[in-house]
Amino acid sequence: MLYYLQPEGGVAVKIALTVWGNRISPVFDAARQVLVVDIEQGVVVSRHVASLGTELPHTRALRLSGWGVQSLVCGAISREFAQTLEFHGIQVIPFITGEVNQVLDAYLRGALAAGGFRMAGTGARRRKRFRGGSL
């Protein structure tokens, strides 16, 4: 099962989704842009596209953290980037694919795991290993 911060009640959540056109970028490490979304009481209250640049993991993590991002939805991601983001308090929801608005809608409904948004070849066994700190 995929666990992530779920916007509930009066809780405000800020997430970022890597974007490539209108889809989730296939590899975070090469992504140039993210869609930053503010969610309050389960409703999107603002969204904007921001540039990630080509920085190293620490710099990208600081940038996302500085924007107040709590969770990152992305495609594939290297261990170094994932660990750096998590060290900076950003929850990583990796191996997601699909059209950005559909992925965001599934996130809001708590249905990312059940919605067919997992990248091919990233089944439960691989996710469990990733959660344990190795790919």
Q: What is the pTM of this model?
A: 0.82
Tokens of 43: 């409703």
**Between residues 16 and 133, which one has the greater pLDDT?**
16
Inter-CA distances, 28 with 11, 32, 47, Å = 27, 8, 19
Beta strands in 41-102 (DSSP E): 43-51, 71-73, 91-93
Condensed to tens digits (0 to 9), the pLDDT of residues 112-132 reads 887 789 887 665 444 444 444
Say which CATH topology domain 12-131 has: Nucleotidyltransferase; domain 5 (3.30.420)
C-alpha radius of gyration, the chain, whole number: 14
H or E segment to which residue 15 belongs: strand 12-20
The tens digit of pLDDT for each residue in 35-55 reads: 999 999 889 999 999 999 777
